[in-house]
Each structure stands twice: as C-alpha cells, then as structure tokens.
Structure 1
Amino acid sequence: MFKRTVAAFAQNVGKTIPPVKLGYKNMLKDPSKKYKPFAAVNIPHRQWPDNRITKAPRWLSTDLRDGNQSLPDPMSVEQKKEYFHKLIEIGFKEIEVSFPSASQTDFDFTRYAVENAPEDVSIQCLVQSREHLIKRTVEALSGAKRATVHTYLATSDMFRDIVFNMSKEEAIKKAVEATRLVRKLTKDDPSQSATLWTYQFSPETFSDTPVEFAVEICEAVKAAWEPTEENPIIFNLPATVEMSTPNNYADQIEYFSTHITEREKVCISTHAHNDRGCGVAASELGLLAGADRVEGCLFGNGERTGNVDLVTVALNMYTQGVSPNLDFSDINSVVEVVERCNKIPVSPRAPYGGDLVVCAFSGSHQDAIKKGFALQEKRRAQGEEEWRIPYLPLDPKDVGRDYEAVIRVNSQSGKGGAAWIILRSLGLDLPRNLQMEFSGVVQDKADSLGRELKSQEITELFKETYNYNDNIRSISLIDSNVVKEDKERRTLTGQVEINGQVYDIQGSGNGPLSALVDAMSNLLNVRLGIANYTEHALGSGSATQAASFIHLAYRRDSDNEKVYRWGVGVSEDVGDATTRAVFSAINTIIQSGDVSLPEKSTKASGSA
C-alpha cells in the first residue's frame, strides 16, 4: 500500500494538486449552542486537593454483574465461576455477582457464589426498587455469610424527567419504600439472622444529580435503614455517565461527605465510568475527597467505554508505596482469565497489564533503562531497596513479569536495546563501541525481516556475528609459552593447528596479549593491532567467569582498507578468556576471506 502511494505521488510530481478544503460538516463550528458546560459545585474552601491517599479503600468488583451485562457474548456459568474464584484469589472481599431477579442463570450463579464464598467475602446483588424483584434477590442471597443488597433509583433531573417522569418527592418516597422492604426481608427477619446484611443505595446518575438532592434522598434512605458504625450503609455515588473533569466529581464527593449526617455510619463508594477517559483520575480524586470504597472492573470492562480499571487504581497506589490489599503478583494469569471469560482482549497498552507497557523500543529509552538497571544493582548491593529505573515506575517482577520483556528490539531501536538483550541472555556487558556496531547489525536484520527481533534471535545473531567463544574455527591454539625477556618485553612461542596441520608461532610484545597478537600477525602475514580490549567478571561466587572483548584492526589484502573485527571469549580463567577472544576475532577475519592462511606447515603434523 505504501509503495503504491509513493508511486502515485511520483507520477503527480509537477502536476497541480487541488487545495485541501478545511471546514465543518457534522461537527459544529460553535458547539456551545448544542452542549452546555458542566455546572460546577460551589465549594469555596475545598479540602481534597491537599489530601493524599495513604491507605487502601474497600474494593468492590462488579465484573460479574456490570461487566458481564456489557459483553456482546455474556459469560457462561462456568466462565463466571472461573472469574469468581480468580477475584477471590486476588483478594476481593466484596463482589457484585449478578442481577438475580433478571434470569434463572443469574439466580443460579448467585446461589453458587453464596455457597462457595469464603467467610470474609460479601456477596452483593443489584436490584431495581420493585417489590417482587427485591424478594427474588433476597431469596437468592439467603444463607450467605455476608450479603449486600444493592438498590438504585434515578435521581438526576434528566433521568427523572425523561425516563421515569418522577418528581423529587416521588423519588424519595420510592427509595424509602424499597429500603424498608429490604430491611424487613433481611436484618429484621429472625430467619435471616445467620447472614450479616448490608445495604447499598445508589442515587443514579449521581454525577448529573444536584448534590443537595443527592444528600436529601440519601438522608431519607439512611433513616429508613438505621445503619451502625460497625455495619455502615453504603452510598454508592456513581458517575454513571462521566459528565466533566475529575475535579468536579471530587467536589461532588466532598460536598456529599461533608453534608451527610452520621458520617461514621456511612461508607461512600465511587463507581466511575470512563466516558471521558478519566475514570481512574475521578476515582483517585474521589478518594481524596472522602470516598471509602471503589467499585469497578478488572482492566476497565463495562457499559459503553467501561467502568474504572481496578488494576490501574490499585497498582497506582502500590507504586506510591501504599499497599492496595489486592494481589497482582501474577498479572499475566489475571489477563488470561479476563480475556478468556470476557472474550475481549486486554489492550497491549493497558496500564500495568498490557503486553507492551513494560517494553521499550526507542533507543534512548532502552539506553536509559539499561543504565538504570546497572545503577540499581549497585544500590541494591549497598542495601538500598528503593526502585528508581527510568521509564519503569513499577518493577515488572512485582507483577510476575521478567526483565526479558522490558526491552524489545526492532529497526528503531538503538545500541542499548540489543546490548540489554545480550546482557540478560549471555551476561555480557558489551563495550560501547561493540554496542554501536552490533545495533547496526540488529537494525539491518530487523529491516530485512520487516519485524521485531525476538531475544533468542538477537542472541544467536550476536554469537554468529562475533564468533562467540571461537565456535567457528579455521585456526586453533594448541599450546603456548610466554617468556619475560626484560622489564618491558615478553616473547611468546607456541603451536597452532590449521586444517589438521601444525604451525609454529612466535611473537613479542609488552605483555602476553600483545605477544600473542604479534605471533598471529607473523603467521598470517598481516599486521594485526589491538584497537580496544576490555574484560569483566561474569557471575558471582564460585560460578564467576571472565568475559573478554578484543577489537582487532588490520588492513585487508584486496584493497589495503583498514578493517576492524571484534572477538569475544568467556572462560573461568581470565587468560583463557582473552585467548578465546583473540582467536574468536582471528577466525572471523579468516572466515571473511580478508587474509590468507599459510600454505604449508612449519612443523610436521603431530610433532607437537
């Protein structure tokens, strides 16, 4: 497609291109005539901007109810069971499982949840404020150790006027009647005493409800239920439709929190939808404003644009040093269950859980991460535990991911990316010049394939390109001996084998390495020079090895051009690692055809 576009463009070079017409069609040039700005709450001395989240809220997962009802293909009973147990495994103590009055399937699953929930997990069900539906819901929850009946009623002017044609007075009356019925059937019924009954009421849509009326109707509901400090009533204040910026939602929460009476007997719960893409921010600011509880779904499933993503809210706290009391140590298994049961993929860019969120392709990002890990290891060795890595606010290992996925390499990646892969796979901390050279090799390979390279492919490409540990041998060292001639000179004598033939070698230099390179120069009739040499320890303790890198320079026979070749050697012995690096480079030179092997042996075969 791109090539066709370029070809078409080339054909039109020099031709007149009609101007692009800019203007409005369906979108209005002045949208203020159609859409009115949100009417903010007047709080002249708001407190929430100065607050901080210092502890985990109560959490409620509504994946099995709000999340499930929004799926094009709702979960089967078996899928709901799998999801339910995963939620318990994560640590949710409050789970909204269904709308049991809606279908026999939901009723049956509610019974399963009641019979299989741990003693400290409360099962919650949603129901409309209608008598026969409430009775059916209580029937479904009967026998639970902990149960919450959740009723709701439209309180916003828009919903009351357009959907239900209900006055404020009628709304209050209906909400109180529903509350009294739930009370009669649950906590006031001696036959239900084995269950700890909690009541939740949602003024819907709270985000579009005058806050004064939201307080008024909730006061009436509270009086009808008569909560206690030990078992407070839950007022869920949903942003059923996200109407404005998160600060306005926080103002609404703070107003409610500071105006509802008997605040110690009230649990304020947020239920933010994501219509404006700000569900996480709204929930977090809602907690600052006084909310005690957060309702939502894993990875933000739900009606329209979804509910708030509980994974993000929880791990946002975690990365600020606050335990969320939810366990995402194996986030990949959570993603698998969510995708399998919802039949909707988790976005690769979903915060914390997406496949790509801990990955860096950019060269500058990769370089920063690589350096960050190097310093992190030094700090850890000194007893420091604070996590400080550029571009990674969360240690991937905390959520069950390894560091191999942190840096991924494609044609856009720089030297740091490929170097990181080699460091993680082979333990080799490549010299800067070698990093730069190898990144070009990797980019060329990625370009030729037209895709990202996998870690294993990069590792194999490195071994092949630099004849790692002298795996490909045209020439090998049999033995050698170094003699100290004076303070500055060393002489090396020895034998090498080429194609079954043994050759004597001799050279001199200011040390064993330079003497060996000189000896090989004499044998191959090419002047080899050491452009760069470095080494480092690999591993620790009894498993420590040495890694050596040598950069040899020489002039090619065919055109006398100066050429450089790297060699890499690893061994338990430093000297052996250096020798392997030298022969790694020399064998690469021979394989390239840049120099010629000697024609005949200077020593009879087998005479060594």
Structure 2
Amino acid sequence: MDKLFVFDTTLRDGEQVPGCQLKSDEKLEIAFALESLGVDIIEAGFPISSPEDFKSVSLISEYIKNTTICGLSRAVEEDIDVAADALKKATNGRIHTGIGTSESHIKFKLNSTREEIVERAKHAVKYARNRVAEVEFYAEDAGRTDNEFLARVVEAAISAGASIVNIPDTTGYCLPEQFGEKISYLVNNVPNIDKAIISTHCHNDLGLATANSIAGILAGARQVECTINGIGERAGNTSLEEVVMIINQHKHITVSHDIDTKKIIPISSTVSEMMNMPVQPNKAIVGTNAFAHSSGIHQDGVIKNRQTYEIIDPEEVGATGSEIILTARSGKAALNFHAKKLGYILDKEALKIAYKNFLVVADKVRCIEQSHLHDIFKNTKVYA
C-alpha cells in the first residue's frame, strides 16, 4: 500500500483562528501530542509573522525529533531566511514556500503576470533549497487556478527543487469531482511529477474540505494537510480525524498511515481546551454526540448490536463507548437498559407502567437524571 503522509497544520493554519493564539510552550505541548499521535509533518508556524512564532518553531524544532518540522514562508527571500533560521535545530526541517496562482491572486493580490509568477516560484524554491534539505511548494488558490497554468507552475517548482507540491483549495471552492480531476490532471500532464509528492490542503467554506481531500487522495495525492477538529481560517480546514477514519473504513482507499487512532479523542480535547475552540456536539468522530443515541429506534438497534447504527467502534478513536441518552424520543428498550444499569429488574408490565411515567417526566425536563429514574422505578414498585 502507498504511504499517505499526514501533514498537520493545527499550529499554523489552525492558530490563525481569532482567539486561538498560543504561546510557544503551549505549541510545544501540542507538538508532543501530535508526534505521539503519529503525524508525519508538523507545520509549526509562520516564523516571520512574529517573534513569538519564530520562537515556537525554533523550540519545536529543538525538541521534536521523530517528525518533520515545517515552517511557512511567502516566496520572499527574507521570509525564507527567517524560516531557515527557525528550523536550524530540526532533525528533519522543511520550508513551505509558495505564491498565488489563480487569476484573482495574480491580478488583484500580487499585481503581477503569469510569467512573473512562474519565475518567482522557481526563485523561491531554489533559494529555499539552498537553506534546507526539503522544500514544499504551495500554489495558493490552486482550486480556482486554470489547470494548464497550474501544471506549468508545478513543473517549474519541481525543476527548481521542490519535492512536495501542495495544491490548496484555499477558498474551499471546488466540488470533489473538480478537485479530483485537478489532481489527476497534474499526475498526467506534469512531466516531472514522479519526482514529487502531491499534497492536498483543502478549506471548508462549502463544507467539502474532507470530501475534496479524499477525492485528491483517490486521484494520486499522497500527502494530506489537515488540522485537529478541522480548525482553521474562516470555516476551517480538512479534519485529520475524518480523513484517517474514512481511510480506515473504506478499504478500497489503498493507502496506509501511521496515526494511532486511539489518541484522537484525547488530542481533540487538548486542542479544544488549549485553543479555546469548542467542538460542535455533532462534529464527526470527536463531537460529544458522535456516539450518542437518543431516538428509540436507534437505541433499540444499538442495544441489540452496536454496528446497527455505528460504523466506528468508539474505543477505536479513544472514546469510552456508546451512550444511550434518555429523552422524550427514547423507547422502552432504552429505559430498560438504564433500569438494569441501576439495578432494577422490570417485568413486561412494570416496564410498560414505568415507561408511561417516564414520558410524563421526559416531556417536562430537558435532561433525565438518575434521580428522576430512581423516582420513576420506585413509584412503579420495582426494586433493585
């Protein structure tokens, strides 16, 4: 199986979310957790952006030794120099440099031409390659870049020394079919593409970041750039946990990874707490409701066999197990399940009476507590 390199940018793109800024020691703590999780590359920051970010990249480079440490830069010599200085102590250091390639970026952001963009891309990669052993090139806004020109820029970057070429859907614009076709186009039309790894970096503006990343992997990308909990600019980035578990569930996606999935929930909680970024309850894999069941039909199925409504074993991602939540939508099976947990034995008639009493309470309170259940069962004249 082909190896899929997992590139985590929680500490760079994820930290760009307002209110999520971290100090260098906090970044280091998360970096240790990411290393333990099994990510291949940690994008530790954007060194030229601030003294604290330079310090963070330097600190992480000094202490994290089993994972490649990456620093971001623009296609500017000063950026590249600062990134290289920050990475001096890295066992495996990488500079991630690049430039916008879409018509929008070339015309309005960079006030440039296609020819100038190609030359600037080549110069940045060559310059960075003289400072570090490994250079990744990003074509910003590749999602909205004409494929023919994108292929031209990618070929130039590889010729200049880039061993990884990042194809970002910077604005989250692409549909999965479009993004997959873009990766396929590069595989088939860039003469030297065999000399580099294609990477995806998808944003979630239309809720398609993970789907686009999977489409890219199926088309030949072998690095995926993602974040814990999908945090990132605007609507966020591709979620690491979603990509990994999709690959685990769908065996026809013939790539391997080194992620220890049992550490997903713990690192999700750490990142959420340290970056002051709550995880939405219905978030896939790591949300508090990801393995919770409150509908009577679902509860009955899960009680009989977890796989009827869960395709992932909660323990596989570090969760404690499935949860049967009692609400007014719950059925007799769920009530009897909780009765047994509390030590009450209900025959068929007692369960029927207890359930009627339960519904009266459930319609009045938002959350059913154990005290409510004890009252219900005692009033039904059943005993522990």
Does residue 204 in structure 1 map to residue 140 in structure 2?
yes
| 5+ residue gaps, structure 2 | none
Does residue 70 in structure 1 map to residue 70 in structure 2?
no
Q: 1:364, 1:416 within 8 Å by CA — same for their partners in 2?
A: no
Distance in 2, Cα, partners of 1:329 & 1:466: 43
2:282 is matched with 349
Q: What amino acid is the match of 2:282? A: R
Aligned-pair CA distance for 1:435:
3.8
Q: What amino acid is the match of 1:439? A: Y
2:336 is matched with 419
Higher helix share: 2
Q: 2:143, 2:170 within 8 Å by CA — same for their partners in 1?
A: yes
Q: What amino acid is the match of 2:359? A: Q
Match of 2:296 among 334, 352, 363: 363
Distance in 1, Cα, partners of 2:210 & 2:34: 20
Aligned-pair CA distance for 1:266:
1.1
Q: Secondary structure at the match of 1:63?
A: coil
Match of 1:442 among 358, 365, 381: 358
Does residue 235 in structure 1 map to residue 165 in structure 2?
yes
Structure 2 counterparts to residues 166-565 of structure 1, below 5 A: 166-186=112-132, 197-225=133-161, 233-320=163-250, 324-373=257-306, 389-403=307-321, 405-426=322-343, 432-448=348-364, 450-454=365-369, 457-458=372-373, 461-462=376-377, 465-469=380-384
* CA shift in 2, pair 1:438/1:145, >3 Å: same
Q: What amino acid is the match of 1:62? A: T
* CA shift in 2, pair 1:89/1:437, >3 Å: farther
Aligned-pair CA distance for 1:103:
1.2
Q: What amino acid is the match of 2:60? A: A
Aligned-pair CA distance for 1:332:
3.8
Distance in 1, Cα, partners of 2:211 & 2:355: 40
Q: What amino acid is the match of 1:247? A: E
Between the aligned residues of both structures, percent identity stands at 28
Distance in 2, Cα, partners of 1:83 & 1:457: 41
CA displacement, residues 38-73 of structure 1 (integer Å, 9 cap, x when unaligned): xxxxxxxxxxxxxxxx76621011010111122334
CA displacement, residues 322-369 of structure 1 (integer Å, 9 cap, x when unaligned): 864212314442232111122110000000111112111111111121
Distance in 1, Cα, partners of 2:237 & 2:7: 12
Q: Secondary structure at the match of 2:292?
A: coil
1:127 is matched with 73
Q: 1:80, 1:341 within 8 Å by CA — same for their partners in 2?
A: no
Moved more, 269-278 or 321-330: 321-330
* CA shift in 2, pair 1:318/1:431, >3 Å: farther
Aligned-pair CA distance for 1:461:
4.2
1:566 is matched with none
Aligned-pair CA distance for 1:117:
0.6
Q: Secondary structure at the match of 1:142?
A: coil
Moved more, 62-71 or 261-270: 261-270
TM-score normalised by length of structure 1: 0.60
Q: What amino acid is the match of 1:70? A: V
CA displacement, residues 59-102 of structure 1 (integer Å, 9 cap, x when unaligned): 01101011112233411223212211221121112100011111
2:106 is matched with 160
1:147 is matched with 93
Aligned-pair CA distance for 1:126:
0.5
Distance in 1, Cα, partners of 2:46 & 2:206: 27
Q: Secondary structure at the match of 2:48?
A: coil
CA displacement, residues 192-242 of structure 1 (integer Å, 9 cap, x when unaligned): xxxxx21100111100111111111111121121x6xxxxx1000000012
1:541 is matched with none
* CA shift in 2, pair 1:435/1:261, >3 Å: farther
Q: Secondary structure at the match of 1:357?
A: coil
Q: 2:210, 2:242 within 8 Å by CA — same for their partners in 1?
A: yes
Q: 1:329, 1:398 within 8 Å by CA — same for their partners in 2?
A: yes
Q: What amino acid is the match of 2:360? A: D
Distance in 2, Cα, partners of 1:208 & 1:444: 56
Distance in 1, Cα, partners of 2:114 & 2:82: 27
CA displacement, residues 382-434 of structure 1 (integer Å, 9 cap, x when unaligned): xxxxxxx121111112223334x521001221112212223445496x55554
Q: What amino acid is the match of 2:215? A: L
1:230 is matched with none
Q: Secondary structure at the match of 2:199?
A: strand
Aligned CA RMSD, in angstroms, stands at 2.1
1:99 is matched with 46
Q: Secondary structure at the match of 2:47?
A: coil
Distance in 2, Cα, partners of 1:326 & 1:316: 13
* CA shift in 2, pair 1:176/1:413, >3 Å: same
Distance in 1, Cα, partners of 2:380 & 2:37: 46
Q: 1:269, 1:292 within 8 Å by CA — same for their partners in 2?
A: yes
Distance in 2, Cα, partners of 1:76 & 1:111: 13
Q: 1:361, 1:409 within 8 Å by CA — same for their partners in 2?
A: yes
Higher RCO (CA-CA < 8 Å; seq separation 6+)? 2
Q: 1:408, 1:454 within 8 Å by CA — same for their partners in 2?
A: no
Q: 2:155, 2:192 within 8 Å by CA — same for their partners in 1?
A: no
Q: 2:101, 2:145 within 8 Å by CA — same for their partners in 1?
A: yes
Distance in 2, Cα, partners of 1:459 & 1:263: 67
Match of 1:81 among 28, 34, 38: 28
* CA shift in 2, pair 1:436/1:358, >3 Å: farther
1:588 is matched with none
| 5+ residue gaps, structure 1 | 1-53, 187-196, 228-232, 374-388, 470-608
Distance in 1, Cα, partners of 2:193 & 2:117: 23
Q: What amino acid is the match of 2:61? A: V
Distance in 2, Cα, partners of 1:433 & 1:174: 79
**Which structure is larger by alpha-carbon Rg, 1 or 2?**
1
* CA shift in 2, pair 1:467/1:423, >3 Å: closer
Q: What amino acid is the match of 1:202? A: Y
Does residue 59 in structure 1 map to residue 6 in structure 2?
yes
Q: 2:101, 2:142 within 8 Å by CA — same for their partners in 1?
A: yes
Q: 1:61, 1:295 within 8 Å by CA — same for their partners in 2?
A: yes
TM-score normalised by length of structure 2: 0.93
